[in-house]
A and B are shown apart, each in its own frame.
Chain A
Amino acid sequence: MNPLHEHDLLLSRRQFFGHSGLRLGGLGLTYVMGRAGLSQAHAAPSGLVHPPMPGLPHLPAKAKAVIYLHMNGGPSQLDTWDYKPQLADWFDKDIPPSVQGGQRLTGMTSKQARFPVAPSLFKFSQHGQCGRWVSELLPHTAKHVDDIALIKTVHTNAINHDPACTFVMTGREVPGFASLGSWLSYGLGSESNDLPAFVVLTPNWSSKAAAQALFTRMWNSGFLPGRFSGVALRASGDPVLYLKDPEGVSSTQRRSQLDALSAMNAHRFAQLGDPEIQNRISQYEMAFRMQTSVPELTDLTGESKSTLESYGPEVLKPGTFAASAIMARRLVERGVRVVQILHRGWDQHGNLPGDIRLQCQDTDQPIGALLADLKQRGLLESTLVVWGGEFGRTVYSQGTLTKTNYGRDHHPRNFCMWMAGGGVKGGVDYGESDDFSYNIAENPAHLNDINATILHQCGIDHERLSFKFQGLDARLTGVEHQHPIKEIIG
């Protein structure tokens, strides 16, 4: 690449808030404006401080924003979306070897003497115009089936949590690659001048079993520049790290200090001419703006009573999934590109019925409310909502199977994900699993296809968004030939 061009690119994209949007108070302004010539060439024409990359979007974008609901641990498809009534006849009978097919199992069940089929304990009923069968665990989500495209044949490469979590978010099983949200903010920038492009929430959870870990690499930028990493919006302490002024420092005091800081930095810039100094001045102004915009974001007093109630009783409790769900809507409203909620506790090797009930209590009502809330505000059309885990779970029971209890091991061969909004066709099912929800019967959808679909809805050709890394043109969707799932795209 031509170094000058690269330099321009670097400057114009130096950081997620770029160069423009300088709103200097006090003395600094004159100094900066006096030397503005150097940076004008790099300011984005759109007025956005974090504009898209040149040439993007590649395609007309249906979705401006993505809300990704990641159910960490691997939710059971059999107890939520993949309805298999005929399995009732198979209770406690071993899964036929022809179905199991000698595929690899995790070390946790590969030595089990038997593989008894555990039909779901939960009742399913039909919902919506489309008549889709949904588990009783998800009564609120079920109200929106006509807005939801269900993919029943998602499959992944990894069979254990660490590599599978890394894969679902970065397209690779090993650390070091860029996350989906980072790719989107790298390619598309942000509509918000006051908030980060990619925000991550990690709410608490209710299941009793030891919860699987998350890894910051699930929202890190990997080989992409660090500014594209997801910014955690935290439930306790400062919502954004170091947001709050130290105790005893007032906002006026801070402002007056920042004015002096800007003036001194501008003075230095006048002497040296290093454009990086100007950049730093604007970062401090951005930081100051965030000190206002973030508290405004997290303050729910402006929400109507009915809206709050729709998200359920926990919406005002910081750190709950409900609180995260309403925050996701508020973030998207303010122009944030990607919101990722990672809800832990779905790894149900044992005591699945009890724990999955608790997990659904955490999430179902808020998810239903989020979809309704987005729709009512006209945001669903431009917001792609994605739901899924890193893999699914086995039809056979791990450990003891009884009439009221069972567990399920990891199952990467087929599981369910859904998408809503953002130009996705509602009420459509894609793919079918076999009678045991153990293999794909038709229309497989690799996680890379899912990611290609997400990028596509955001106006990105997944084969054209790449970054040089380790001698490769690295892409989110890897080197195999992957496709957006046309059948679910409106």
Chain B
Amino acid sequence: MIRSGNFFISILILGLGHSSLVAGPELSFNRDIRPILSENCFACHGFDGKKREADLRLDTAEGAYADLGGYKAIVPGDPAKSEAWTRILSDDPDEIMPPPKSHKTLTDAQRDTLKRWIEEGAVYEGHWALETPVKPAVPESAAAPIDAFLAARLAQNRLIFQPEADRSTQIRRAAFTLTGLPPTQAEIDAFEKDNSPRAYEAMVDRYLQSPRFGEEMARHWLDVARYGDTHGLHLDNERQMWAYRDWVVKAFNENLPYDQFTTWQLAGDLLPGATTDQLVATGFIRCNVTTSEGGAIDEEYRHLYAIDRAATVTTAWLGLTGGCAQCHDHKYDPLSAKDFYSIYAFFYSSADPAMDGNIAKTAPILELPAPGQAEALAAAKKEESARLAALESGALPAYAEPATTDAPVVREQVIFDDLLPLGVTQRNTSRNAPVWLDRPEFGVPSGRRVLEQSNGQFFETIITPELIPVTVPEKNARFEIAVRPDPLSPPKVISLVLNGKRVYWGDAGGFEVYNAGNPSKVVSLGVMPEPGKWTTLSFDPALLEIAPGARVNTLSVQMVGGRVAWDRCVVKGELSPAKDPLASFALWWKSHGSKAPADLPGPLAKTLMDGPDKTTDAAAREALLSFYLKRIAHAAEGSLADSRRVWESARVVAAAAAEAIPTTFIYRDLPEPRETFIAERGQYNKPGEKVEPAIPVNFGKFSPPAEPRRLNRLDLAQWLVAPEHPLTARVAVNRIWQQIFGVGLVKTSHDFGSQGEPPSHPELLDWLAVSFVEKGWDVKWLVKELLMTDAFRQSYRADETGLALDPENRLLSRAPRIRLDAEQVRDNALFVSGLINLQMGGRGVRTYQPPNIWEPVGYGDSNTRYYLQDHGDALYRRSIYSFFKRTAPPPFMSNFDAPNREQSCMRRERSNTPMQALQLLNDVQHFEAARALAERILTEGGADDPSRLRWLFRTVLSRVPDEKESGFLTDALAQQRYHAGADAKAAEAVVKAGESVPKNVAPAIETAAWTLVANLVLNLDETVTRN
């Protein structure tokens, strides 16, 4: 009577007994009834109005209880009066339900369950996803629980799993899933030779321990977190928060339980004694796009940021979309506008500004000193204060104004060296702080730091001396500056512009670019100095018709299209003391403009601005003179000069120590919260009802704090990770299921609401969710459980039956076969070619990128307008570390469906386009990988063609070619040899692909032929697919 393999029956046996006469635990509509109705009835009597028969719907109580003209489908408590029940019992083929043409039949046990449900009142329940999951009984089976659920469902459709895939397929599938990279041949060998029954599990365990695991897991989460390396709106300038990305990698590698993973990101700063990691994690909230557009209205953006943050939390943890609730209550979904704005209220009182300032370090930020850095900074600051105190307490030398008759003196004034001098204003094309390289590997001509400029196009640093004027000497005047063009990215041209007049070295054509200025005079001083070497450039300011004794009001240090280091900028020559503001206190005092220069203590600023004539207080004059002599004037000989020198080097050490410390965005609340309102129709300037941070009403239980107080983000996080929360665990296990099987059990992984798709396997989803919580939110446990299943390990074969009965493979009647994601596609090519650089973490690297990706879209002054590619090892870093500009993402990412990270993304699509084909064939990154792979073939692949072809195939695809494939490859090699041989020059060009140095392991023609064959294999469908 009870057929084995039927999952609903199994539930009855385990949970309910097999007869309505046996009193069992209460029936649950969602668990016990909905699946029966869904499987057998809803196709014709469900939600879809177009397909509905007889105007009857059984998916809602109203529909089921409705009067259909003298009779009702279901009369609660009375099966005999329920038309549905009488039809189920009918023998008449025209009457019986489900009808014969549907090929569906109810088992006796299912009938009993339905009858009992009607007898007990035919109670309907609300949306499944809002009920706390209850761990369902596992269908009776020899298999492990997950497979038992899946197999039961397959059996209902007269399907079974495919046999286990061969070992090479299994290891490649597991390696990509867990590390985003293919296995090495050694790993394949070891796995294939391991006869132990635990071989597979041991292999999975090894990959779970690899640092690559965290990277692979993290890249999925970074889509959810909308992580990017730029602000995302308007100027879209660089922002510094890569430490957050690195923390995500670390969290997965250290297997931080998911409840803590959640709490740290939403409220790490509110945890008692918050650690650095807990603070860094709050960067999650701040990953949203921000603006600093001139004219943008603060209130509007404050609103938009809070909307984005609330929507991201709603999607990432609740698996619900906030889209509707921003403007009005949803007609179907349980999240009301008030709920949404109650979540919004948790984020509306943020301490970060509405305008990001276009700077990389928009507060609040956290400094992340490496071991020793914090101590070094503290020591350096202490030293700096001590040295300043020493300078201040030094005895003042006698001072007398120079006479106008005094002879000119030979002087050298440093404009900058290691630091910009006191009291200058500085700005540059990027609107960011200047970049000082501290003790670079390539050496420093003077001091310890150099000023670095790098940009794909025009870049300038404009220095306006205010406190310490720069004067052109009267005789033998020279400007000098040391420069080192980068050997890998030498600029087209470098220049100095003094008072709007330019001297330059290199190609004047370089200035024919946006915003390079329109100098009133232009003088060429020759070619670009030799890249890779320090050169001191020197010129007479008279060339620019700047008169002797004139003041230099602005100095702009410029370059176009490259990277360059500058050091020690000085002006020297002879100048009469009376004409030298650094020798004449009176002259200096009078020579200031209408605004007090920076770096001048307040009372002194007043004295300075009052001028000598208005200053009657002798003490004030003395104080200013003291400041002048100690910090401004040419240093006299003796102890004061020594004190100043020592103080200045202490300043440099302190500045270097401060700038060496990376920072990251963190989240903080304002001390006093802002009043928060529902935005009517989603508009910031239409405030409606006032709201406080609150927990949405329809979702699980929430115990408010005993002492009434304003709720904070920690309350929000703790509600989310409470074991009885209906959504958090389901959404999390579903997302990881999607990551591993390609499609979630709930296909709409971002939408568990009534508009989303119901789960393909509701009991399995609940079993996983409850088990996940029971296991302490152990992510590695979950991942491993999924990888250990027969479903994951089976082979892929799409036969006609399988395609017809399970077209989308939602039932997993065959292995999931999915195209690799963008990062995996690139990393795979780098890995098999041996080019890959597995260094972890740090600022985003700028890999190969075709010209004109940033340039045609970037704002004129944006510091991410002109792409300047990195060189060397940086080109071969894993894709997760590539720099992500949000208004123009790297094409290797977008081309393969990576989101643009402008908002949270739970699921990437997988397209298949000619643009992808072109990229895999022609992108220098991929073609260079083919060349490097060819070199590996020729050195590691054995002595003859057959073994080399086999080695190539196995390196890329983890398996050996069959006879036909060997034939194809042999022919292809012969053809490519023929082509390469016919044009030796072309072969040379092929071998030079990319920036890595060819190893010349074989004649160019041979390497070229193998490169084309490797390029062919790297383009196989199987190569870019997790099989």
Chain A residues proximal to chain B, CB less than 8 Å: 3-4, 6-7, 14-17, 27, 38, 104, 106-109, 159-162, 174-176, 202, 209-217, 220, 225-227, 229, 231-232, 234-238, 240-250, 252-254, 256-257, 260-261, 263-265, 267-268, 271-277, 279-281, 283-284, 286-287, 290-291, 409-410, 468-472, 479
Chain B 142-162 interface residues, beta-carbon cutoff 8 Å to A: none
What are the residues of chain B within 8 A of A256 when measuring CB–CB?
Answer: 972, 975-976, 979
Which one of B291, B808, B979, B1025 contacts A253 once the chains associate, using CB atoms below 8 Å?
A: B979
Which residue of chain B has the shortest Cβ distance to A213 in the bound complex?
B859
> Is A257 in contact with B976, judged by CB distance below 8 angstroms?
yes
Chain B 935-972 interface residues, beta-carbon cutoff 8 Å to A: 964-965, 968-969, 971-972
Given that A242-B922, A261-B1019 are known contacts, is A290 also in contact with B817, CB under 8 Å in the complex? no
What are the residues of chain B within 8 A of A16 when measuring CB–CB?
Answer: 913
What are the residues of chain A within 8 A of B330 when measuring CB–CB?
Answer: 471
Which residue of chain A has the shortest Cβ distance to B328 in the bound complex?
A479
Q: A168–B985 Cα gap in the complex (Å)?
A: 51
Q: A107–B797 Cα gap in the complex (Å)?
A: 62
> Is A225 in contact with B909, judged by CB distance below 8 angstroms?
yes
Q: A296–B599 Cα gap in the complex (Å)?
A: 63
Q: A433–B475 Cα gap in the complex (Å)?
A: 66
Ordered by A's residue number, 13 sampled pairs between the chains whose C-beta atoms are within 8 Å are A3-B808, A17-B914, A160-B291, A217-B902, A227-B911, A235-B852, A242-B850, A243-B922, A257-B972, A276-B912, A287-B914, A287-B917, A471-B323
User: Which one of B289, B858, B921, B975 has the greatest number of beta carbons of chain A within 10 Å?
Assistant: B921
Chain B 893-926 interface residues, beta-carbon cutoff 8 Å to A: 894-895, 897, 900, 902-903, 909, 911-919, 921-924
What are the residues of chain B within 8 A of A175 when measuring CB–CB?
Answer: 232, 289, 900, 902-903
Q: A174–B311 Cα gap in the complex (Å)?
A: 13
> Is B808 in contact with A273, judged by CB distance below 8 angstroms?
no
What are the residues of chain B within 8 A of A210 when measuring CB–CB?
Answer: 515, 859-861
> Is B234 in contact with A213, judged by CB distance below 8 angstroms?
yes
Q: Which of B75-83, B448-456, B476-484, B884-892 contacts A (4 or more CB under 8 A)?
A: B884-892
Q: A237–B971 Cα gap in the complex (Å)?
A: 34
Chain B 584-639 interface residues, beta-carbon cutoff 8 Å to A: none
Q: A389–B897 Cα gap in the complex (Å)?
A: 29
Tell me, yes or no, whether B33 is within 8 Å of chain A by CB.
Answer: no
> Is B983 in contact with A250, judged by CB distance below 8 angstroms?
yes
What are the residues of chain B within 8 A of A252 when measuring CB–CB?
Answer: 979
> Is B902 in contact with A273, judged by CB distance below 8 angstroms?
no
Tell me, yes or no, whether B753 is within 8 Å of chain A by CB.
Answer: yes
Which residue of chain B has the shortest Cβ distance to A104 in the bound complex?
B297
Q: A476–B293 Cα gap in the complex (Å)?
A: 25
Q: A214-B857, A265-B1020 are in contact. List 16 more A-B contacts (CB 8 A).
A: A15-B912, A16-B913, A175-B232, A213-B235, A243-B922, A246-B990, A247-B989, A247-B993, A248-B987, A273-B803, A276-B817, A280-B912, A470-B323, A471-B323, A471-B332, A471-B333
Q: Which of B119-127, B706-714, B1008-1016 contacts A (4 or more CB under 8 A)?
A: B1008-1016
What are the residues of chain A within 8 A of B989 when measuring CB–CB?
Answer: 246-248
> Is B1008 in contact with A161, judged by CB distance below 8 angstroms?
no
Q: A363–B321 Cα gap in the complex (Å)?
A: 43
What are the residues of chain B within 8 A of A3 when measuring CB–CB?
Answer: 807-808, 810
Tell me, yes or no, whether B284 is within 8 Å of chain A by CB.
Answer: no
Q: A213–B797 Cα gap in the complex (Å)?
A: 49
What are the residues of chain B within 8 A of A236 when measuring CB–CB?
Answer: 851-852
**B802-814: contact bitstring with A at CB < 8 Å (1 yes, 0 no)?**
0100011010000
Q: A469–B191 Cα gap in the complex (Å)?
A: 44
What are the residues of chain B within 8 A of A250 when measuring CB–CB?
Answer: 979, 983, 986
> Is B323 in contact with A472, judged by CB distance below 8 angstroms?
yes
User: Which one of A108, A409, A410 has the greatest number of beta carbons of chain B within 10 Å?
Assistant: A108
> Is A161 in contact with B234, judged by CB distance below 8 angstroms?
yes
What are the residues of chain A within 8 A of B798 when measuring CB–CB?
Answer: 272-275
Minimum CB–CB distance from A385 to chain B (whole Å) comes to 22
Which residue of chain A has the shortest Cβ distance to B760 in the bound complex?
A3
What are the residues of chain A within 8 A of B972 when measuring CB–CB?
Answer: 256-257, 260
Minimum CB–CB distance from A348 to chain B (whole Å) comes to 14
Minimum CB–CB distance from B783 to chain A (whole Å) comes to 25
Q: A257–B815 Cα gap in the complex (Å)?
A: 30
What are the residues of chain B within 8 A of A469 when measuring CB–CB?
Answer: 323
Chain B residues proximal to chain A, CB less than 8 Å: 232-236, 289, 291, 293-297, 304, 308, 320-324, 327, 330, 332-333, 514-515, 751, 753, 755-756, 796-799, 803, 807-808, 810, 817, 819, 850-852, 856-862, 887-889, 891, 894-895, 897, 900, 902-903, 909, 911-919, 921-924, 927, 964-965, 968-969, 971-972, 975-976, 979-980, 983, 985-993, 1008, 1012, 1015-1016, 1019-1022, 1025
> Is B297 in contact with A107, judged by CB distance below 8 angstroms?
yes
What are the residues of chain B within 8 A of A211 when measuring CB–CB?
Answer: 514, 859-860
Q: A253–B976 Cα gap in the complex (Å)?
A: 7
The 10 closest A-B pairs by CB, nearest first: A470-B323, A106-B295, A248-B989, A210-B860, A175-B902, A213-B859, A287-B917, A470-B321, A248-B990, A273-B798
> Is B990 in contact with A249, judged by CB distance below 8 angstroms?
yes
Which one of B236, B850, B917, B1025 contacts A238 once the chains associate, using CB atoms below 8 Å?
A: B850
> Is B911 in contact with A176, judged by CB distance below 8 angstroms?
no
Given that A161-B293, A162-B291 are known contacts, is A274 also in contact with B1020, CB under 8 Å in the complex? no
> Is B909 in contact with A242, judged by CB distance below 8 angstroms?
no
What are the residues of chain A within 8 A of B862 when measuring CB–CB?
Answer: 213
Q: A268–B1027 Cα gap in the complex (Å)?
A: 11
Which one of B889, B912, B993, B1025 contacts A14 once the chains associate, using CB atoms below 8 Å?
A: B912
Q: A244–B911 Cα gap in the complex (Å)?
A: 22
Q: How many A-B residue pairs have CB under 8 A?
A: 264
> Is A290 in contact with B914, judged by CB distance below 8 angstroms?
yes
What are the residues of chain A within 8 A of B985 when measuring CB–CB?
Answer: 248
Which residue of chain A has the shortest Cβ distance to B43 in the bound complex?
A2
Which one of A160, A214, A227, A240 contacts B296 once the chains associate, using CB atoms below 8 Å?
A: A160
> Is B968 in contact with A267, judged by CB distance below 8 angstroms?
yes
User: Which one of A16, A162, A209, A470 has the greatest number of beta carbons of chain B within 10 Å?
Assistant: A470
Q: A210–B858 Cα gap in the complex (Å)?
A: 11
> Is A286 in contact with B796, judged by CB distance below 8 angstroms?
no
Which one of B850, B858, B1008 contacts A248 once the chains associate, using CB atoms below 8 Å?
A: B1008
> Is B304 in contact with A174, judged by CB distance below 8 angstroms?
yes
> Is B852 in contact with A227, judged by CB distance below 8 angstroms?
no
What are the residues of chain A within 8 A of B1020 when measuring CB–CB?
Answer: 261, 264-265, 268
What are the residues of chain B within 8 A of A263 when measuring CB–CB?
Answer: 968
> Is A274 in contact with B912, judged by CB distance below 8 angstroms?
no
> Is A216 in contact with B817, judged by CB distance below 8 angstroms?
no
> Is A247 in contact with B965, judged by CB distance below 8 angstroms?
no
Minimum CB–CB distance from B694 to chain A (whole Å) comes to 21
Which residue of chain B has the shortest Cβ distance to A253 in the bound complex?
B979
Q: A244–B922 Cα gap in the complex (Å)?
A: 7
Given that A15-B911, A226-B897 are known contacts, is A260 also in contact with B917, CB under 8 Å in the complex? no
> Is B324 in contact with A284, judged by CB distance below 8 angstroms?
no
> Is A267 in contact with B895, judged by CB distance below 8 angstroms?
no
Which residue of chain B has the shortest Cβ distance to A214 in the bound complex?
B857
Which one of B808, B817, B850, B969 contacts A241 once the chains associate, using CB atoms below 8 Å?
A: B850
Q: A237–B330 Cα gap in the complex (Å)?
A: 49
What are the residues of chain B within 8 A of A273 when measuring CB–CB?
Answer: 797-799, 803
User: Which one of A14, A216, A250, A281 has the greatest number of beta carbons of chain B within 10 Å?
Assistant: A216
Minimum CB–CB distance from A471 to chain B (whole Å) comes to 4
What are the residues of chain A within 8 A of B1012 when measuring CB–CB?
Answer: 249, 253, 257
Q: A283–B918 Cα gap in the complex (Å)?
A: 9
Q: A263–B965 Cα gap in the complex (Å)?
A: 9
Which one of B323, B902, B964 contacts A267 once the chains associate, using CB atoms below 8 Å?
A: B964
Minimum CB–CB distance from B339 to chain A (whole Å) comes to 14
> Is A214 in contact with B918, judged by CB distance below 8 angstroms?
no
Given that A216-B887, A217-B902, A256-B975 are known contacts, is A290 also in contact with B918, CB under 8 Å in the complex? yes
User: Which one of B862, B902, B913 has the greatest number of beta carbons of chain A within 10 Å?
Assistant: B913
Minimum CB–CB distance from B100 to chain A (whole Å) comes to 21
Q: A215–B808 Cα gap in the complex (Å)?
A: 35
Q: A220–B851 Cα gap in the complex (Å)?
A: 20
> Is A215 in contact with B857, judged by CB distance below 8 angstroms?
yes
